[in-house]
Structure 1
Amino acid sequence: MRTLSRRHFLAASSAIALFIRSDKPVWAEDKPQAGGTLSVILQPEPVTLSPTNNMAQPTQTVAGNIFDGLVYYDFDLKPQPCLATSWDLARDGKTVTFHLRHGVKWHDGKPFTSADVKWSLENIWKTIHPRNKALFENVSAVETPDDFTVVLKFSKPSLPIFSVLNGVGAPILPRHLYEGTDILGSPYNNKPVGTGAFVFKEWKRGEYVLLERNPDYWDSGKPYLDRILFRIIPDPAARAAAVEKGEIQYAPFNAIPLRDVERFSQLPNVKIDRRGYDWISPLLYLDFNVENQYLKHQRVRQALAHAIDRNAMARIVWFGFGKPAISPVPSAVATFHDSTVPQYAFDPKKAEALLDEAGFKRGADGTRFAITHDYLPYGDDYRRTAEFIKQALHKIGVEVTIRSQDTAAFIKRIYGDRDFDLSLSWNSAFPDPQIGVVRAYWSGWLGTQTPWTNGSGYRNAEVDGLIQAAAVEGNPEARVADFKRFQQIVLTELPTLPLLEMQFFSVHAANLRDIVSQGDQTYSTLKNAWFDGKAKG
């Protein structure tokens, strides 16, 4: 078999990772010091600790420390060795061979082998994982000639897979604990056993998740920390106070109120960091339930889009930590982003005209119709966004009732019961639309009750065809063309309204070093983090 070396493959696939290169980690030249407990904000509390079929941010934040992947991603979003030390890609793109690391153990002491990768691909990645089902559906065979070699045979190429092979992107589970059991009902989903730098110790509901240092970790000398204590603090003011007092040393994903960021940036004992989110490329969006008696009309959806001032939303609600989005493929994913899509500028008069044309004129009380809005319960920023949208739609005669619930109830309502009209959430687009974008539009997810997939209930045969064609297209230019046509259609029919390209930030203690050491950091391991006991403030 003719193969491309790893070096040549990375050069050939550089178009997949098109984000701005981040600076090297600060203090990288200092000698790390071992020891200490890192207290981290985890908001909200996860529904599960297993990334098998739940892509919620809190789950992945914890799981990235428990599960290693075949690779991790550097600041250029290029894959680097982790559980796979090297890999070969055949020139026709239909065979990939991974060479696995020797001497890796699961947290229960059992050896990690190629059988675990094969089982996970066949039973997780191809079946229940929201992002990977389409990416790996063309794997026709998985061969394991020995304990340290995995050979994937594809019926058709699948270029995007090299952007999802980290610990949460393509989670590898211990076959000996899951095989022959109910995967989704397994007790190990909430007391996970991985191969990562930290071992699950305890989950005290409503209070914390505790991980401890893995003494048998394959990366000698790491992790430096003794423990990670993920603390659950629902109140944003209390989270900010805990960070300021030094009780919390790491707070990712906008854990403190946005209005406090400027003040925190002046404090000597903390630092604000925007790095580590490169891999996810987050997008805030509004799902329209296209089965609703009003929202099933395209003109109504377009009208509501024209009623929302996304520039004002970015400025007032999100304090500039985001910019208006025009497509579900963010501008940071530059190769695939289409700037010529139909756009919905803030225009209340046009919104009112479209509603009139759709047959929903104002009644005697000025109201056209009433709908409900369920927002993602991840904090005050999402609640305030829902209130902003409520006020905007009121001005064009659409009355909105805002409903709040915990994360489990939100997931069940939106993706299970489908008992909603508008739904506010965010997704990660990742470096390729096939990974994070198309799950919101592909009709194949309907009826599966899988979180963060096709929430709107959208069905379009041409869109399905474009998604499926791009998944197996070996010509990069043809894939770009498929995705640009995809964007033109979904931005015209508008089952989902892109709102903002989000900019997350983290707050961490000034003496916490190397908290960001790779491009997928916020969903990956903190094995490189350490406390500098000599640091001031």
Structure 2
Amino acid sequence: MQEKCADRCPCPARGTLQEPELRPKPDARAETGARAARRKGRPRVRGAALLAFVLLAGCASPLPPPAQEEESREFSVLTYTTPGDATVLLPTLTVDTASSFVTSFIYDGLAVYDDQLSPHPALAESWQVADDRVYTFRIRKGVTFHDGAPLTAHDVRFTFLTIAHPDYQGARFGDFTAIRGWEELARAYAAADAAVAAGTLTAEEGRRRKLEAYEHFVRTGGLQVPDDYTFRVEAAYPFAPLFTRLTGYGIMPRHLLEPYMSDLLHSPYATAPVGTGAMRLVSWTKNERIVLERNPNWCCSLSGRPAQIDRLVIEIVPDQEAAVAALARGETDVADVPPEMADRFRSEVPDVNLYHYTTFAYTFLGYNLNHPVYGDVRVRRAITHALDREAMVAELLGGHGQVAHSHASPARWDYNPDVPVVPYDPAEAARLLEEAGWLPGPDGLRYKDGQPFVMRLAVNEESLLRRQAALFIQKALEPLGIRVEIERMDWDAFLAHISRGAKEPYLLGWSLGFDPDPHSIFHSRGGFHAITGLSDPEIDRLIEAGRSTTDQARRKEIYGRLQVALAERQVYTWLFAQDTVVGVNKRVRGVRHGSPRGLFWNWEEWTVEP
């Protein structure tokens, strides 16, 4: 899940723009073999101690190229180490950074974006926009999927129809409500669900009504194919995010996926994808490694030149210490470096270049707004007042970041620097808790109606930074009379936990998209409503206003007000917007710089020396 173009765990590659996306997606359920053995019993180390570990740790063998290619010495392999495995490799279903990173190599979108977030032709060789409502894309001829089948405008339309289908299993349905007929489709689906819930329709009858509504939309809605190489989209009204929505999704093959329309998630192509992109999938060993190899027929690069890398090996290493150690030893080419280690790593690991840049991402303490404790805004504000977030940035990020105050990134155009700040103020935190009825007890804990204030804080096991943040929060809230019990979970268990209505607080991060529309996250009908739980008419109105005008100055004003409203309600306790530091072995040439598109934005220009 994540607000997506965005940062792809953590080095965004070219391709899909999904919005939103949880960040990062570390799914390390099955650390296997030697890696798991290395983790057992090893103490956690940070800063200087971690760097020492990096420089002294033992070696492991990278995946070799095929023998005949190794002998020719012309086969180029790039190894990228990341904490999280992918979950599904279909662009309209991906909700996590790890999956979207992989799909961005396998699929092409209608456009590709540069480091300044400007679109360039990809599968669409050109486009026109009329009256801010009608989008016409001329599809590039001669493009083939990895299986040799030609790509046409019918594949483009099919990709978006999968999102409109009543059996859609993703979280993007709300991204396209401005398309002519889509809102009527949504109302028909809601009416059928309501009738089934009321008992006036059987489940089978309700499904039939949904399918009838869908077929009507297919015939009459705003997704049109005038000819095999023209895709036209008509919006019911001007809708600012629509262009990035349409151009950002990887285009999927209709001829392979149409038979699985009712269950794409469990289709064979969810794990054995076929796209038109720069790379094709060779193998996927869950929780260990994904191997991609170059598509010689790729024609949609940003630079206009073919990719120089023949094989991309994505190594799944949930243990950040092990990943950094592999980078220092030269066993991987690209990996994240904890920000607090950046200065010493730069001076003591000379064979690695460090790229330090700002991305559209932040980390937050999330709440269940329907919970009897955390539904009280006074409690949420008290918790925020109790956290010295400046110290958090200094200690956990080594100063490579800044305190976050609302749903925005300082690097994105909609950022409002005047959002009211909830300062570090333990005395005000105590006052708010007492006002909310949480009074000190004889054991040092606060009590209300005889119940102690115990926060059960969920954190995904694979994120070292969030584990450290959880310990910081635990220590900070103890003097206030709140006992924090940290519950560490693997990624799948964590996602299931935060989607439940009975959840307690959790630590998470959003990686934000190019467009600031946060409908999926904060709107009462958003795709991630089960996680945020927010239902606020004013918030809904601001979101709808911001997406229904194409005037950027007007949108900036609306989103500035939205950021203020979210901060006033303390929907989250926003913690920090961390900078990204990525290490790249010096044998990799052609890397330019990081940007909001990440480091991989020009990856097709990279070369790897033997």
TM bucket normalised to smaller: 0.7 to 0.9
CA distance in 2 between partners of 1:42 and 1:257 (Å): 13
> Tell me, what secondary structure is at the counterpart of 1:103?
coil
2:76 is matched with: 36
Cα offset for 1:517?
A: 7.5
Map 1:115-514 onto structure 2 (within 5 A): 115-124=154-163, 132-140=172-180, 141-164=222-245, 169-181=248-260, 182-218=263-299, 222-251=306-335, 255-266=336-347, 267-274=349-356, 278=359, 281-334=360-413, 336-368=414-446, 369-415=453-499, 417-434=500-517, 437-445=518-526, 450=528, 455-514=531-590
Q: Which runs of 5+ in 1 are unaligned?
A: 1-32
Alignment correspondent of 1:19: none
Residue identity matched to 1:123: T
User: In the aligned structure 2, how far is the partner of 1:49 from the partner of 1:525?
Assistant: 22
Deviation at 1:209, TM superposition (A): 0.6
Is residue 288–residue 495 contact of structure 1 (8 Å, CA) maintained in 2? Answer: yes
Pick aligned residue for 1:47 from 68, 78, 87: 87
The match for 1:114 is 153
Judge which range, 489-498 or 118-127, deviates more. 118-127
Is the contact between residue 309 and residue 346 of structure 1 (CA under 8 Å) also seen in structure 2?
yes
CA contact (8 A) 1:271 1:507 kept: yes
- In the alignment, the residues of structure 2 paired with residue 100 and residue 265 of structure 1 have an alpha-carbon distance, to the nearest angstrom, of 45
CA distance in 1: counterparts of 2:170 and 2:377, whole angstroms: 27
The answer for the alignment partner of 2:603 in structure 1 is 526
Which amino acid counterpart does residue 162 of structure 1 have in structure 2? F
Structure 1 residues 130 and 496: CA distance shift in structure 2, 3 A: farther
Partners of 1:473 and 1:130 lie apart in 2 by 26
Is contact 1:42-1:231 (8 Å) kept? Answer: yes
Q: Decide whether aligned partners of structure 1 residues 501 and 401 sit closer, same or farther in structure 2, where only a CA change above 3 A counts.
A: same
Residue 14 of structure 1 corresponds to none
Give the CA deviation at 1:113.
Answer: 1.0
SS at match of 2:438: coil
Task: Give the whole-Å Cα distance in 1 for the aligned partners of 2:370 and 2:552.
Answer: 35
Judged with a 3 Å threshold, the aligned counterparts in structure 2 of structure 1 residues 100 and 527 are, in CA distance, closer, same or farther, namely same
Q: 1:505 is paired with a residue of what secondary structure?
A: strand
1:30 maps to none
What residue identity is the alignment partner of 2:578? M
* Alpha-carbon separation, structure 1, partners of 2:594 and 2:179: 29
CA displacement at 1:413 relative to structure 2: 1.1
- 4+ runs deviating over 4 angstroms: 125-132, 516-519, 521-525
In 2, Cα distance between equivalents of 1:221 and 1:431: 25
Contact kept? 1:40, 1:229, Cα under 8 Å: yes
Tell me, yes or no, if the aligned pair for 1:327 and 1:498 is still in contact at 8 Å. yes
**Residue by residue, what CA displacement relative to the aligned partner does 1:102-138 show, whole Å, maximum 9, x if unpaired?**
1111111111111111111222379859775334211
Cα distance in 2 for partners of 1:408, 1:237 equals 22
SS at structure 2 position matched to 1:455: helix
- Whether contact under 8 Å (2:290, 2:314) holds in the other structure is yes
- What does the per-residue CA deviation read over 1:250-270, in whole Å, with 9 as the maximum and x for residues that have no partner? 11xxx3344432232123211
Using the TM superposition, name which of 468-477 and 110-119 deviates more: 468-477
Distance 1:187 1:321, change over 3 A: farther
Once residues 108 and 338 of structure 2 are traced to their aligned partners in structure 1, the CA distance between those partners, rounded to angstroms, is 31
Question: Match of 1:407, as an amino acid?
Answer: W
**Distance change (3 Å), C-alpha of 1:472 and 1:341:** same
Quickly say closer, same or farther: Cα 1:358–1:312, change in 2 above 3 A: same
Deviation of 1:35 after TM superposition, in Å, equals 3.0
* SS of equivalent residue, structure 2 residue 234: strand
Aligned AA for 2:503?
A: F
- Where 2:383 maps in the other structure, the secondary structure is helix
**Range 417-426 or range 209-218, more displaced:** 417-426
Q: Is the 8 A contact 1:65 1:526 kept in 2?
A: no
Matched letter for residue 342 of structure 1 = P
Q: Distance in 1 between matches of 2:362 and 2:340?
A: 21
Question: Identity of aligned pairs, percent?
Answer: 30
| Structure 2 length-normalised TM | 0.75
Instruction: Note the alpha carbon deviations across 1:410-458, whole angstroms, 9 max, x for none.
Output: 111112x244211111112233320xx343211113xx6x5xx552311
In structure 2, give the amino acid aligned to 1:508.
V
Please report how far the alpha carbon of residue 45 of structure 1 lies from its aligned counterpart in structure 2 after TM superposition.
Answer: 2.0
SS of the equivalent of 2:603 reads: coil
What's the secondary structure of 1:49's corresponding residue?
Answer: coil
Partner of 1:12: none
Higher alpha-carbon deviation: 356-365 or 49-58:
49-58
Gaps of 5+ in 2: 1-72, 181-221, 447-452
SS at match of 2:233: strand
Q: Return closer, same or farther for 1:408/1:522 CA change in 2, 3 Å cut-off.
A: farther
Secondary structure of the residue aligned to 1:443 is coil
Letter in 1 for 2:571: P
Distance (whole Å) between structure 2 residues aligned to residue 456 and residue 142 of structure 1 = 31
What amino acid is aligned across from residue 274 of structure 1 in structure 2? H
What per-residue deviation string (whole Å, max 9, x for no partner) do you get for residues 72-118 of structure 1?
1112211111111211111x201111111111111111111111111
- Give the CA deviation at 1:214: 1.0
- SS of the counterpart of 2:322? helix
Q: Which region of structure 1 is more displaced relative to structure 2, 470-479 or 287-296?
A: 470-479
- Residue 183 of structure 1 aligns to a residue in which SS? helix
What residue in structure 1 maps to residue 142 of structure 2?
103
Shift of 1:475: 3.4
8 Å contact from structure 2 (residues 111, 123) kept in 1: yes
More helix per residue: 2
Deviates more, 1:524-533 or 1:360-369: 524-533
